Amino acid sequence: MADVNLTLRESKAPAGQAGTAAMPGKAPFRFPAGLGGALPALVLVTLFFVVPVVALLLRSVTEPEPGLQNYATLFGDGTYARIFLNTFLVASVVTAVTIVVAFPVAWMLAIMPPALGSIVFGVIILSMWTNLLTRTYAWMVLLQRTGVINRTLISLGIIDEPLPLINNLTGVTIGMVYIMLPFMILPLVGTLRAIDPMTLRAAALCGASPFAAFRRILLPLSLPGVAAGGLMVFVMSLGYFVTPALLGGTSNMMLAEMIAQMIQSLLNWGLGSAAAFVLLAVTMALYALQLRLVGARRVGGGA
């Protein structure tokens, strides 16, 4: 089934079927008729999400005194601007690298015999369930100056000096791409599986080289999956804390680290809240953009 059939199927599908594939949390808001059943969840979300967010917003404009001075500092000061820039840079690099790494894996999963595919799928999911800190520390062991990678490369005579793989952008990118991969692969596999391999055979017979078939057929048809996964990875990367803190350097701090520092060490709740609120606003804006571009169902379903 190629993409047409997909669209047909989706438009015919009952409303409840929309967010089936992955990430139920990202399904668009849509209240079914029986609202009563959703009431406990609604109360929970209101109490523990809406209220704190509003409190945060209030703090950012009231502390230390009422006014927008926190936002002025945030956008006016060069230090904070650099942190913003670095955050977007890291998130962009991580998203780009994740897409490039995830695409071949997803394609392989999509065309693999199902039995083998489910094993590979299991490995990917399992890595997702392994504790985040454990995985990040494992990368520290691998990447440090006297780590496995550097020692192997030196003993093979490929390099003389250890490569700076940690406490910089390289380390953060490697560690975060690894963690983000499943979030990219899952929606992408869904999209790729919906593409009829016969379509690619037809493209080949029409004279399209493998690269032309990829660029003109496979890539455009997989764009909804790339967009869904890419947005998720980008948004998650923007607010990421653990991996940048452990694998990144002090010179390229990310927004989440800054917020933690503001609130934990400097006790500057006003500035911290403002930064958190900017992060939230950017995330929401990106999500809204994607809704407009690809349509709510695709964002939710990924396929």
Partner 1 sequence: MTQPFLAIRAIRKTFGSVVAVHDVTVDIPKGEFLTFLGPSGSGKSTTLYAIAGFQDPTSGDVLLEGASLLSVPPHKRNIGMVFQRYTLFPHLTVAENVAFPLRVRRRPDAEVKRKVGDMLALVRLEGFADRRPGALSGGQQQRVALARALAYDPPILLMDEPLSALDKKLREEIQAEIRRIHRETGVTILYVTHDQEEALHLSDRIALFRDGRIEQIGSGEDLYLRPATDFVAGFIGNSNFLPAECLETADGAATIRLADGSVVSGVRANHDFGRGQKARLMVRPEAFRLTPDHACAGLAVEFVDTAFFGERRRVVARTASGQEIDIRPTSDMADAHRGGASGGRRVFFDPAAAFLFPA
Under the rule (CB under 8 A), what is the footprint of partner 1? 2-8, 196, 198-199, 201-210, 212-213, 216-217, 220-221
145 versus 216: smaller Cβ distance to partner 1: 216
State the Cα–Cα distance between residues 103 and 188, nearest whole angstrom. 7
**To the nearest whole angstrom, how small is the minimum distance from the Cβ of residue 128 to partner 1?**
31
55 versus 206: smaller Cβ distance to partner 1: 206
**To the nearest whole angstrom, how small is the minimum distance from the Cβ of residue 188 to partner 1?**
16
116 versus 206: smaller Cβ distance to partner 1: 206
123 versus 205: smaller Cβ distance to partner 1: 205
8 versus 55: smaller Cβ distance to partner 1: 8
- Which stretches of the chain are DSSP H helices? 3-12, 39-45, 51-62, 69-76, 78-111, 114-129, 132-143, 148-155, 169-193, 197-205, 210-213, 219-238, 242-247, 255-264, 269-294, 296-301
**To the nearest whole angstrom, how small is the minimum distance from the Cβ of residue 77 to partner 1?**
46
88 versus 214: smaller Cβ distance to partner 1: 214
Cα separation values, 80 from 2, 11, 126, 222, Å: 47, 46, 37, 37
**To the nearest whole angstrom, how small is the minimum distance from the Cβ of residue 9 to partner 1?**
11
**To the nearest whole angstrom, how small is the minimum distance from the Cβ of residue 190 to partner 1?**
16
Tokens representing 55?
Answer: 């409190």
Cα separation values, 71 from 29, 67, 75, 211, 286, Å: 30, 9, 6, 47, 20
**To the nearest whole angstrom, how small is the minimum distance from the Cβ of residue 186 to partner 1?**
22
Q: Is the omega angle on the peptide bond into residue 40 within 30 degrees of 0, that is, cis?
A: no
Q: Kindly report the CA angle at 192 between 185 and 177, in degrees rounded to 5?
A: 20
